[in-house]
Structure 1
Amino acid sequence: MEFEEYLKQKKIDAIAFKNADNPRFLEWSELFKTMHPESFTAQKKFLINDIRRRYLLSDL
């Protein structure tokens, strides 16, 4: 699974996230490559919720 697909599953707009907070996006993208998606979710759970609130993916 790619990081952008993961963000879509979590209802996070990857483009908005990348444009607004590129350093964190790149850090998380690299970290995501090294671990299982469930482990990534467990490690970043509360941060993911904050990012989702900021960059909610709209259902078009």
Structure 2
Amino acid sequence: MSIVHSGNRDVSEVVLDQARRSSADLIVTGGYGHSRTRQWTAGGATRNALSTSGVSILMAH
């Protein structure tokens, strides 16, 4: 396992990029929601990953 620094990228972008680099077939993650205000101001890694992923995602809440 290695540490990946995101720089200014969204967390979902970093996770999906790492999945592509490793030729992953599946991403397993937890998902939870934030308040609407936080979603609006900070975005949502879960929503972004689901909407832009080319890899299957197994999500548990």
Q: Which has the larger radius of gyration?
A: 2
Higher helix share: 1
Taking structure 2 as the reference length, the TM-score comes to: 0.21
Taking structure 1 as the reference length, the TM-score comes to: 0.21
Higher strand share: 2
